[in-house]
Amino acid sequence: MPSRDEEEGARSHVTRPGALRRLTRPGAGDRQEGLLLGLVAAFVLLFCLLPLLRLFAEVFAAGPAEGLEIARDLLDNRFARQAVINTLEAGLLSTLVSVLLGAGLALAIGLTDLRAKALLTFLALMPLLIPAQIAALAWLELIGPSSFLWQLPGLDYPAGSRNPLYGREGVVILMGVEHAPMVFLTVRAGLRALPDELIEAARAAGARPLRLTFGILLPLLRPALLAGAALAFVSAIGNFGVPALLGIPGRYTMLTTFIYQRLNGFGPSVLGEVALLAALLALFAAVGLAVQAAAGRRGKLSLERGGRVLQPFPLGAGRWRLEAAVWSLLILTGVLPLLALLNSSIAQALGVAVTLETATLRHYADVIANQVTARAFVNSTLLAALAALSCVLVSIPLAYLAVVRRRALARLLTLVSDAPYALPGIVLSIACILLYLRPLPLLEISLYGSFWILAVAYLGRFLALALRPAISGVEQLDPRLEEAAQIAGARGWRRLRDIVLPLAAPPAAAGGMLVFMAAFNELTVSALLWSAGSETLGVVIFALYDEGNSNAAAAVSVLTVIVTLAIAAAATAFVRWTKMPRGVLPWQT
Amino acid sequence: MRKTLLAAALCATLGSAPAAAQNGELMLYTSQPQDLLVQMIEVFNETHPEIEVSFFRSGTTEVMNKLEAEFAAGDPQPDVLLVANSLVMTGLKNDGRLLPYPEAPTEAYDSAIMDPDGAFVGTKLITTGIVYNTELVSEPPTSWADLTDARFENQVIMPSPLYSGAAALHVGTMTAHESFGWDYYEALADNGAIAGRGNGSVLEAVATGQNAVGIIVEFMAFNAKAEGSPVDFAFPSEGVTAITEPAAILSTAENPVAAEIFIDWLLSEAGQRFSAEQGYLPALPGAPTPSTFPDEVELEIIAVEPGTLIANDEEMKKSFANLFGG
């Protein structure tokens, strides 16, 4: 409730904007603001920066001689070498697949008058909602010999042939599909920013649609394409679920799986070595992120020139052809794998075809009755809720201090908080193991081997995901409102509570739902950090598959996907209901 | 019941610190498949409802690494260890990590499956042989040598010793044995054999027809066959390797009393009969053979001196990784 004074302050400010500038200059914060900044900084430093510093300390602490020794040993190991080569190869090739798929779909949906665009967009973004290990499992089921696909007339599984998804091609294609939505999103955003006048001029000059697309639009979209490709690349080299389920059996090892295998096969004695590999992986990711940042800056320029929104090309009588192609592709990538997963979850046993007589719900009954899977549901829910809540609570003041108050430290903190999310998850896990393997000094409490190491890692990992919507929420905030409150004497807490919070909270809450979804499905970080009693859903699915119980793994996956889709639907409804600007949720561009 | 389950879940979740010392809680680290483990705990709780069993389950190697890290951190969690092979147990015993339990009811058991000082005792016999897909293989393999045959080119999958304790013992034994050696594994690699992760990954690949044949622990294959999967198991003519799934109490156990009760039950006739019901070959002489097994099984065990296995372990894993990538 704004007081009378505040209202008057606001009015006077509106009437005489310039006169009060000196009172509101940045940096004139009071002690409360300083305290707030301190708290936020402590959170970011503790959860985002410290683990990464510890990792680099490990790499450099060995001393130059010993470090070189480890590096030389690694280079001598042809599997380590191969893992580096494979990581770059699969990263680049799958990026190519993502660009073709994502950009193709974005152009088809964004440029033409296809029908049911909302549904098509949703299907195109499905891979974002489905975590990599579930997608990999679903594709294995779809292409595998027990798939319902081979019961269709005219289709036969080539008997005795290995699942073609095992190995390089499978890893590349599946990661390409998984990360295509990132390219889709950047290219769609790029398309939105293109001025219609340009197209009209080209059309007036007689350019046909194809010429227009390839001669004019694509060159203009280059920054968006590059930014999307860089994101896809960084995601690909950090992916664990796909190379773990498809690459390990296919003897195609990437850095993430190599690190995982080394650590599981040889234990903490190889920590120094895997820390070096993790740092190398972080370096590759940093290059990708730098490209993305550079491309993003170039993209911004064209965005500001934006005139009228692009009018869709009429496809005319041939529209159904493109529609058929797009629908087939999206059903193949977004729907069929899930059906295969469903099919496997109701199969009697491994390798038994599902028919009306053999279909069974016993795997669902089993996983619900099983204390481990039940606990994993509880754990993942608790972890996701904890991460979502904490990240939202930190992201609002951080966004406020960085964007409205323009505090230099806060702006720096937003950059720091990006790192654990942008870098491959396995880098963060290794960093957390190094940091928390031994009991905390002074407190003598050991986080390693408990639920809390996961919680700590998740807090660092997902802050960036909550921060982005919070920043976009705070950016909508009219700075005059806040200045007015300040003039009226409202101090830090008060302004934050009465002015910033009501406006920034809804987008931040939507960000919280994103964090919840991502954390609920998390595997990469958990895979190295879980312990007895702290199993997460990602770990349980992975382990069940490993034990040869893929029917049960499919059942847990189906339940997880249902929860994820429900949260996505709730977030969408929430964003509509609060009339938030578009772009808060990634699938709502 | 529901309430206690949830409470237990929350308790286990929110760190073991507050309630770990409470009487009647038992932490088990094991490599047994999860569903069988959960069943076993249920049956155990029928006679011992006062003991609440929690567990960490993964491949033996991962279990051991977890434990090593906990030793390093100075806070080992488990009371009881129930893992694939006695080699890791011997290693732990030599490091003084185990609490001997010579009073365990082992009178009826073969002394070969237990530690002379009572530090650990085998609870069942698990042999490693060959699984094949009955729809894809018309002429089943009968020997280890068959797996290097051209007709199974690119068709063989095996568990990795970097992950599975049974596989570690199997590869260690085969490579140290004069009739096989690393030559045999090089021949497998040349024939396009691949390494999965645990035995489960082998069953998965063979039952769903992605690989025609695999190297696997027998009970998994027989259990899957009983459930209707198109697989069968062959005991190779040269013999099988065997592990005993030993149980041991950690010297740092917080609840050694419950640990002894648990081990007593594992070795009891009821516990052994239940093992057989789950498809495991019981270690207790005279206990029934699982119904999933063929009527007549004559086991010839391929074995080498345990000291050799322990000495070669690290090198074996590295060589295997170099041949099969994991």
Give the pLDDT confidence of A174-208 residue by residue, as tens digits. 999 999 999 999 898 888 877 777 777 877 887 77
Q: pLDDT higher for A307 or A576?
A: A576
Average pLDDT over residues B87-109: 92
Find the range with the poorest average confidence among A37-41, A112-116, A436-440.
A436-440
Contacts of A568 (CB under 8 A, 6+ apart): A129, A513, A517, A587
Task: Give dist(CA B152, CA B191) in Å, integer.
Answer: 8
Find the range with the poorest average confidence among A306-315, A525-534, B78-87, B288-297.
A306-315
Confidence of residue A79 (pLDDT cuts 50, 70, 90): confident
Give the pLDDT confidence of B139-182 residue by residue, as tens digits. 999 999 999 999 999 889 999 998 888 999 999 999 999 999 99
**Could you say which residues from 209 to 248 on chain A have a Cβ atom under 8 Å away from some Cβ of chain B?**
248
Find the range with the poorest average confidence among A264-273, A410-419, A521-530, B178-187.
A264-273
Decide: helix, strand or coil at residue B28: strand
**Could you say which residues from 308 to 337 on chain A have a Cβ atom under 8 Å away from some Cβ of chain B?**
none
- Residue pair A73/A273 in contact (Cβ under 8 Å)? The answer is yes
Q: What is the pLDDT of residue A169?
A: 93
Helix and strand tally (H, E) in chain A?
A: 28, 0
Q: What is the pLDDT of residue A325?
A: 93
**Max CA distance (Å), chain B:** 59
What distance in Å separates residue A451's CA from the closest CA in chain B?
Answer: 6
β-bridge mates for residue B128, sequence order: B217, B241
- Of the candidates A43, A521, A375, A438, the residue with the CA atom closest to the CA atom of residue B14: A375
Q: Does A443 touch chain B (CB under 8 A)?
A: no
Share of chain B above pLDDT 70, in %: 92
Q: Give A252: exposed, middle or buried? Use CB within 10 Å, 0-12, 13-18, 19+.
A: buried
Give the pLDDT confidence of B18-71 residue by residue, as tens digits. 333 345 899 999 998 888 898 999 999 999 999 999 888 888 888 888 888 788
Confidence of residue A15 (pLDDT cuts 50, 70, 90): very low
Q: Which of A251, A268, A372 shows the shortest C-beta gap to B325?
A: A251
Task: Give dist(CA B162, CA B145) in Å, integer.
Answer: 23
β-bridge mates for residue B124, sequence order: B282
Q: For A450, which residue in chain B has the nearest alpha carbon?
A: B15
- Of the candidates A94, A53, A519, the residue with the CA atom closest to the CA atom of residue A288: A94
Task: Give dist(CA B321, CA B228) in Å, integer.
Answer: 34
Give the pLDDT confidence of A339-393 residue by residue, as tens digits. 988 988 998 888 787 788 888 899 999 888 888 899 999 999 999 999 999 999 9
Q: Does A534 touch chain B (CB under 8 A)?
A: yes
Confidence of residue A297 (pLDDT cuts 50, 70, 90): confident
Q: pLDDT higher for A382 or A309?
A: A382
Task: Give dist(CA B152, CA A382) in Å, integer.
Answer: 48
Confidence of residue B322 (pLDDT cuts 50, 70, 90): confident
Q: What is the pLDDT of residue A9?
A: 37
* A348 chain-B contacts, CB cut-off 8 A: 227-228
Q: What is the pLDDT of residue A265?
A: 72
The answer to whether the CB atoms of A547 and B200 lie below 8 A apart is yes
Find the range with the poorest average confidence among A22-26, A267-271, A413-417, A440-444.
A22-26
For the cut 90, the answer to whether the pLDDT of residue A38 exceeds it is yes
Confidence of residue B220 (pLDDT cuts 50, 70, 90): very high
* Tokens found for residue B47: 């006679």
- DSSP letter string, B33-61: -HHHHHHHHHHHHHH-TT-EEEEEE--HH
Q: What is the pLDDT of residue B74?
A: 75
What distance in Å separates residue B180's CA from the closest CA in chain A?
Answer: 24
The answer to whether the CB atoms of B224 and A372 lie below 8 A apart is no
Give the pLDDT confidence of A246-278 residue by residue, as tens digits. 888 777 999 999 988 888 777 777 888 888 888
What distance in Å separates residue A535's CA from the closest CA in chain B?
Answer: 9
CA distances from A589 to A125, A353, A570 (A): 11, 41, 17
Buried b or exposed e, range A350-388, using 16+ CB within 10 angstroms: bbbebeeeeebeebbebbeebbbbbbbbbbbbbbbebbb
For the cut 80, the answer to whether the pLDDT of residue A22 exceeds it is no
Q: For A162, which residue in chain B has the nearest alpha carbon?
A: B210
Length of chain A: 589
Q: pLDDT higher for B249 or B21?
A: B249
| Mean pLDDT of chain B, nearest integer | 87
Rg (CA), chain B: 20
Task: Give dist(CA B1, CA A344) in Å, integer.
Answer: 31
Confidence of residue A1 (pLDDT cuts 50, 70, 90): very low
| Mean pLDDT of chain A, nearest integer | 83
Q: pLDDT higher for A65 or A474?
A: A474
Q: What is the pLDDT of residue A547?
A: 82
Q: For A270, which residue in chain B has the nearest alpha carbon?
A: B65
Average pLDDT over residues A394-402: 92
Q: What is the pLDDT of residue A88?
A: 96
- Residue pair A572/A507 in contact (Cβ under 8 Å)? The answer is no
Pairing of strands B124-133, B281-282: antiparallel
Angle at B79 between CA B76 and CA B82, to 5 degrees: 105
Confidence of residue A138 (pLDDT cuts 50, 70, 90): confident
pTM (two decimals): 0.80
Contacts of B184 (CB under 8 A, 6+ apart): B144, B148, B174, B175
Give the pLDDT confidence of A530-563 residue by residue, as tens digits. 887 889 999 999 888 888 888 899 999 999 999 9
Q: Which of B69, B209, B211 shows the shortest C-beta gap to A267?
A: B69
In sign, the C-alpha dihedral spanning B212, B218, B221, B225 is: positive
Angle at A381 between CA A551 and CA A55, to 5 degrees: 95
